[in-house]
């Protein structure tokens, strides 16, 4: 298994600007922030991508994401933010240890820049695709 920079942060070998920690979760400031207060929330166990994360750690992250988001907003004065979670190199993942970005958005435009080339979902594709996904859950 390839080591990532987050292996070294979770083990304590590398320092980070920690904002939150519990038995399952660590949150710290992103070292190359898209905006002031850009925070990363990670499980304390290694999983490359979200689909490989166990439910216990996923639930632990889900439980604290709103609280950490509120703290980031309160501390920075930002009123809007994005939560971003990249999986796979082609989806812009650079560190292969699951992480959620909390990225404040400011009136000066700093924050996450999003391309959103929306299509239109039509039937029967919608029905077929929903059924295809649902039967796997
Ligand atoms: P992603 O493109 O979703 O894999 O994002 C990885 C993030 O990790 C980037 O935003 C990096 O700036 C951030 N990052 C990389 N190394 C460190 C580090 N040592 N401390 C904090 N954040 C880091």
Angle CA(128)–CA(133)–CA(134) in degrees, nearest 5? 95
Per-residue pLDDT, 78: 98
Tens of pLDDT, residues 78-121:
999 999 999 999 999 999 999 999 999 999 999 999 999 999 99
Q: The domain containing residue 61 runs over which residues? A: 5-135
In this prediction, residue 24 has a pLDDT band, given cuts at 50, 70 and 90, of: very high
- The structural domain count of the chain equals 1
Whether the CB of 92 sits within 6 Å of ligand 1: yes
| Residue of 29, 33, 94 with the most ligand 1 atoms within 8 Å of its CB, for mutation | 94
pLDDT of res. 2: 81
Q: Are 104 and 73 in contact (CB under 8 A)?
A: yes
Using 50, 70 and 90 to split pLDDT, how confident is the model at 1? Answer: low
* Burial group, residue 50, by CB count within 10 angstroms (0-12, 13-18, 19+): middle
CATH number of the domain that 65 lies in?
A: 3.30.428.10
- pLDDT range class, residue 53, cuts 50, 70, 90: very high
Residue 19 has pLDDT above 90, yes or no: yes
The verdict on whether 38 is a catalytic residue reads no
What is the 117 CA–ligand 1 centroid distance (Å)? 26
Ligand 1 atom at minimal distance to the Cα of residue 85: 3
Alpha-carbon distance of 53 to 111, in angstroms, equals 27
């Amino acid at each position: 298994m390839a080591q990532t920079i987050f292996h070294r942060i979770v083990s304590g070998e590398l320092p980070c600007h920690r904002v939150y920690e519990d038995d399952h979760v660590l949150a710290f400031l992103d070292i190359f922030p898209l905006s002031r207060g850009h925070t990363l929330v990670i499980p304390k166990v290694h999983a490359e991508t979200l689909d490989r994360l166990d439910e216990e750690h996923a639930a632990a992250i889900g439980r604290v994401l709103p609280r950490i988001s509120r703290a980031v907003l309160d501390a920075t004065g930002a009123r809007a933010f994005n939560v971003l979670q990249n999986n796979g190199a082609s989806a812009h993942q650079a560190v292969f240890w699951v992480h959620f970005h909390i990225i404040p958005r400011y009136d000066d435009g700093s924050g996450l820049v999003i391309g959103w080339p929306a299509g239109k979902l039509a039937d029967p594709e919608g029905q077929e695709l929903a059924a295809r996904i649902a039967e796997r859950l």
